[in-house]
Amino acid sequence: MHVRSWLAARRRPVLTAAASLGVVAALATMTPSSAAPGGDDGTVSPNIVGGTTAAQGEFPWMVRLSMGCGGAMYTEQIVLTAAHCVDGSGPDTSITATYGVVDLQSSSRVTRTSTQVYANPSYGSGGGDWALVKLSSPISGATLLPIATSTANDNGTFTIVGWGAASEGGGQQRYQRKATVPFVSDSDCVAAYQPLVNAGQYDELSPGVEICAGYSQGGVDTCQGDSGGPMVKRDGAGNWIQVGIVSHGYGCARAGYPGVYAQVSALAGDIAAQAAALGGTTAPGGTSFSNNATVAIPDNGAAVTSTVQVTGVSGKTSVQAGVDIAHTYRGDLVVTVVSPSGQSFVVSNKSGGSADNIVQTYPLTFSGSANGTWTLRVQDTAAQDTGSIRGFKLTF
Ligand code: ARG
C-alpha cells in the first residue's frame, strides 16, 4: 500500500514534501521530526492555494493519481507526473488514474490502472523530478498535453491545476482547482531558498532542471497533493503547453518562497525517449488546429460562427473538438460543430440551465476527410443573457 506521495518523497530528507507538512510546527518548535503534520498556521489564504474551482473541460488533459498526486496525459496511455510521487521504476499495478472530470466523485470519470512506471533515475541526484505512468489500456480520444521542448514559454504567467490542499496543511480537494502564478528567475529562486539551505533545512535547488513561480507576497501556490500535476501556459498559437511539473516548496504560498517545478523544457528529450520506450498508442501531443478569435454572440439572435482550417491530416475518423464559450446562461445556447463534409454535430442543445460558460472538449467521430473548414456554430435562443465564442480547437 502506498503512503501518500508527499510522505513518500525521498529526495529532501530535511524538508521534502513530507517534512514540509511539518514546517509550520517546525518553525515554532524546532523539532521537525516530531512535528505533527497537517497543522495550519492560518497565515495562508484558501484554495489550490489562492485559486478557484476549474470548469469541467477546461483542462481536459488533467489526471488525478490515486497515491495523491496530479499528472497530465502525455499519450493516450502514458501519464507524466513527478518522480517523488512514485516508488521507482518497474511493473506497478497499484496506481489508479482518474481522467475527464473536475469532480473526482463524478460518475462520468474515466479510470485506468497502472501497469508500469518509469521514474527518472537521476531524480535523487538533482536530475529532475519526473516520472511516467503507463496505463493498462489507452484512454482513447483523451486530450493530450504537449510538453515544452524549448525555453520559449519559460516566462510570463503560468496556470497551475490540481486537487491538492487549498491551504498549507489542509485536506485534499474533491473539485479541481486552478490559479495563475508569475515566473520567478532561477537566481531569485535560488536566493530565496539559500538561507534555508545554509541552515541545513532545505536541499539545494537544481536550477538547470527546475523552474520557479509565485508572487513575492505569496498567497497563490501549488500545495501538497498537487505534485506531479502540470504547470501550463498558452503558447504563441493559443494552445496549452506544459512548462512545469509540480515538485516542491517551503510550506505553501508563503511570502518569499516560490513554488518549485521540474523544468519540462530541460527534460523533454528524455521524457519523449522514455515514453517511446514504454510504448503504447498515439504519439505525444496529437495535431491541433485552433481559432482563438473572440466572436460576440448576439442575444436571442442569429447564429454566429468560428472556423478552423485543417490541412495535412490523413487516416483520421475521430477528433477532439474543444469549445470555449463565455456566456452567462448556457441553457440559451445551441452549439453545433460542422465537419468539412457538412456533417453536423449538436454538442450542446440548450443544456446546462443557468450555469455559466461552455468550456468542454467533445470527442466526435466523423466521415469523410478531416481536411477543410470546420465550423463552430453558436446560437443564443433566449432573451437577456449574452456572451462570446473564445476558442474553437480541433485535435486529431
Ligand atoms: N511536494 C508536494 C506534493 O507532493 C507539492 C509541493 C508544492 N509546494 C509548493 N509550495 N509549491 O504534493
Is the residue at 175 inside a domain?
A: yes
Q: Which atom of ligand 1 is nearest to the CA of 6?
A: 4
pLDDT at residue 118 tops 90: yes
- For this structure, is 248 an active site residue? no
Q: What is the domain-level CATH number for residue 309?
A: 2.60.120.260
Residue 248 Cα, ligand 1 centroid: separation in angstroms? Answer: 4
Q: Is 227 a catalytic residue?
A: yes
Same domain, yes or no: 18 and 85: yes
Asked whether residue 140 is domain-assigned, the answer is yes
Residue ending a domain, among 228, 257, 277, is 277
**Is the Cβ atom of 221 under 6 angstroms away from ligand 1?**
yes
Look at residue 1 in the predicted model and tell me its pLDDT.
Answer: 31
Q: Are 207 and 58 in a shared domain?
A: yes
Residues 90 and 123 grouped into a single domain? yes
Q: How confident is the model at residue 281 (pLDDT cuts 50, 70, 90)?
A: low
Average pLDDT over residues 208-217: 98
Q: How many domains does the chain have?
A: 2
* Ligand 1 binding pocket includes 164 (Cβ within 6 Å): yes
**Confidence tier at 148 by pLDDT (50, 70, 90):** very high
The CATH number assigned to the domain holding 121 equals 2.40.10.10
Same domain for 312 and 254: no
User: Which pLDDT band holds residue 23 (cuts at 50, 70, 90)?
Assistant: very low
Instruction: Mark which of 246, 277, 308 sits at the end of a domain.
Output: 277
Domain co-membership, 271 together with 311: no
Q: Residue 130: pLDDT above 70?
A: yes
Note the pLDDT tens digit of each residue in 229-270.
999 999 887 889 999 999 999 999 999 999 999 999 999 999
Query: Does 126 fall in a domain?
Result: yes
In a domain, 198, yes or no: yes
Residue 228 near ligand 1, beta carbon < 6 Å: no
User: Could you list the residue range(s) of the whole structural domain that residue 345 is in?
Assistant: 288-395
Residues 317 and 227 in one domain: no
Residues 113-136, mean pLDDT to the nearest whole number: 97
Residue 136 belongs to a domain: yes
The answer to whether residues 308 and 259 belong to one domain is: no
Residues 164 and 209 in one domain: yes
pLDDT tens-digit readout, 288-310: 888 878 899 999 999 999 999 99
What is the rounded average pLDDT for all residues in the chain?
Answer: 86
User: Do 257 and 295 reside in the same domain of the chain?
Assistant: no
Closest ligand 1 atom to residue 257 Cα is 10
Q: Do 314 and 245 fall within a single domain?
A: no
Q: Is residue 251 part of a domain?
A: yes
Examine residue 282 and state whether it is found in any structural domain, yes or no.
Answer: no
Q: Residues of the chain with pLDDT > 90: what percent?
A: 70
Mutate to test the pocket of ligand 1, among 223, 231, 254, 260 (most ligand atoms within 8 A of CB): 223
Residue 57 lies in a domain: yes
How many CA atoms within 13 Å lie on the side-chain side of 269?
Answer: 4
* Measured distance CA(4)–CA(227) in Å, rounded: 11
Query: Does one domain contain both 293 and 270?
Result: no
Given a cut of 90, is residue 192 above it in pLDDT?
Answer: yes
Residues 6+ apart with CB under 8 A from 79: 63, 65, 71, 72, 73, 97, 132, 133, 135
- Check whether residue 54 and residue 192 sit in a common domain: yes
Structural domain ending residue among the three candidates 277, 312, 333: 277
Whether ligand 1 lies within 6 angstroms of the CB of 391 is answered as no
53 CA from centroid of ligand 1 (Å): 19
